[in-house]
């Protein structure tokens, strides 16, 4: 009696493992999640920085408003730490040459009818308000492009040109001696407009402040009646 002999032969079927595709898929998902996380963190940081810069500009504009009010109360003598002295328009003389349409040393006066038809959307601009910019044909009295060259005024970005006979806006502390601000791209400034009738010395003060970035700008206005 003979026993049957069986020979063992290994299977020729190829292995079809799934480990590599699964690992690659996990790596792709992790990479996408990591990228989204980085972008979200970067966006959050940018928003926080912009908000902080806005707050700096807002507080700078607020400081300029208060400085404009203080300016209306000072006498016509050089104040401590001030770069310039106010002329002899204290008590206030609200007519030319102290207050006129050229806004000498930050003091503007227009007829009230000027404001009634003011329109910056027209071409050319009709009766420009003094606190409009000078750029883009707006024909206002701000110092043009804030990112451009510093204006030749006291307290400008150069800090060396003390020109006390200027037209247009007043940099912070020019007449009052208030300390200049640190950490801003440009010192805040203000304009004073006389809007009164008769003995009513109603003033409108418009200010603008800048953040650490020159392109961050805040404009504020207030109405003020100086005491006589």
- Structure confidence at residue 58 (pLDDT): 95
In this structure, are strands 189-194 and 107-109 parallel, antiparallel, or unpaired? parallel
pLDDT above 70: residue 177: yes
In sequence order, what are the beta bridge partners of 191?
206
Nearest to 207 by CA among 71, 72, 83, 62: 62
Percent residues over pLDDT 70 in the chain: 80
Q: Look up the pTM and report it.
A: 0.75
Span 120-139, pLDDT tens digits: 888 888 888 888 877 766 77
Cα separation, 5 vs 7, in Å, equals 7
Is the C-alpha dihedral spanning 218, 202, 195, 154 positive or negative?
negative
Q: What is the mean pLDDT of residues 206-217?
A: 92
- Structure confidence at residue 194 (pLDDT): 93
Nearest to 54 by CA among 193, 184, 151: 184
- Structure confidence at residue 149 (pLDDT): 46
* CB-based burial label for 77 (10 Å; 0-12, 13-18, 19+): exposed
Q: Please state the three-class secondary structure of the chain as a single string.
A: CCCCCCCCCCCCCCCCCCHHHHHHHHHHHHHHHHHHHHHHHHHHHHHHHHHHHHHHHHHHHHHHHHHHHHHCCCCCCCCCCCCCCCCCCCCCCCCCCCCECCCECCEEECCHHHHHCCECCCCCCECCCCCCCCHHHCCCCCCCCCCCCCCCCCCCCCCCCCCCCCECCEECCCCCCCCCCCCCCCCCEEEEEECCCCCCCCEEEEEEEECCCCCCEEEEEEEECCCC
Q: What is the mean pLDDT of residues 215-228?
A: 88
Residue 99 has, within 13 A of its CA and on its CB side, a CA count of 22
Q: For the chain, give every domain's residue range.
A: 26-228
Span 2-56, pLDDT tens digits: 555 555 555 555 555 567 777 778 788 888 878 877 777 777 666 678 889 999 9
Peptide bond into 97 cis (omega under 30): yes
Q: What is the mean pLDDT of residues 100-113?
A: 91
């Amino acid at each position: 009696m003979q026993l049957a002999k069986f020979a063992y032969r290994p299977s020729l079927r190829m292995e079809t493992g799934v480990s590599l595709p699964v690992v690659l898929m996990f790596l792709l998902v992790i990479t996408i999640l990591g990228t989204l996380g980085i972008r979200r963190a970067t966006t959050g940081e940018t928003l926080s920085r912009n908000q902080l810069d806005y707050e700096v500009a807002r507080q700078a504009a607020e400081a300029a408003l208060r400085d404009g009010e203080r300016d209306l109360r000072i006498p016509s003598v050089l104040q401590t730490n001030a770069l310039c002295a106010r002329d002899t328009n204290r008590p206030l003389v609200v007519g030319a040459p102290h207050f006129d349409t050229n806004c000498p040393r930050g003091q503007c006066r227009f007829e009230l009818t000027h404001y009634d038809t003011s329109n910056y959307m027209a071409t050319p601009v009709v009766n420009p308000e003094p606190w409009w910019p000078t750029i883009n044909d707006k024909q206002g009295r701000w110092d043009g492009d804030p990112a451009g060259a510093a204006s030749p005024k006291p307290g400008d970005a150069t800090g060396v040109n003390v020109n006390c006979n200027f037209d247009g806006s007043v940099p912070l502390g020019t007449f009052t001696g208030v300390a200049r601000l640190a950490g801003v791209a440009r010192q805040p400034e203000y304009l004073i407009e006389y809007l009164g009738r008769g003995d009513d010395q109603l003033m409108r003060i418009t200010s603008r402040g800048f953040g650490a970035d020159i392109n961050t700008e805040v404009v504020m206005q207030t109405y003020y009646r100086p005491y006589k």
